[in-house]
Copies of this chain bind each other. A is one copy, B any other.
């Protein structure tokens, strides 16, 4: 589908991808301008539509590209033989922080992408989000040693509470970074805060 694009020399590919990521991350799907993208990428209007037939397809290509890139790296790094839930989720949080440092624009783009709900992409994108969520949940919780958890509560619900906590924590941090301009995320501090939640959860949810 995007084979034409993918057989371009990679320097040009990168210019286009970076320009598009930047524009979509900054302005959101609807307000992103293909004009800005081509200007920034240094290519012509026509070429963009030659490779990606529409803004929509460009967006989906971009999302898949970015998502796969970080997911690949994530799964390369994560140790799925670790059976203790907290060690596993701690890994996940750390790897995510690393990725955020290594590819800040890409991660920002992905996070912004998840928030889009323009009518143009809504239906298709909502389905994709759903899929990804279930796939990831399947993998990330696979092989976990559930025997350490208290027996008097529904373990699945506890796992949810824990995941949600780290998602919300990360959201809040990103939100702060956006509202307070110039605010840099202090990864050390976030890491320590996460650690405190880990301890609480171990105390409360383990036997």
Contact = CB atoms under 8 A, between A and B. Distances in A.
Interface of A: 26-28, 30-31, 112, 115, 117-119, 122, 126-127, 129-130, 150, 152-154, 157-158, 160-161, 164-165, 167-168, 175, 178-179, 196-197, 199-200, 203-205
The 5 A-B pairs at the shortest CB distance, nearest first, are namely: A164-B168, A30-B31, A204-B204, A126-B179, A153-B200
Given A200-B158, A203-B152, A204-B204, A117 B28 contact: yes
B30 A179 contact: no
Contacts of A117: 28, 112, 178
Contacts of A27: 30, 118-119
A153 to B, nearest CB: 5
Nearest to A29: B31
8 contacts: A28-B117, A30-B30, A115-B115, A126-B175, A126-B179, A127-B179, A153-B203, A164-B164
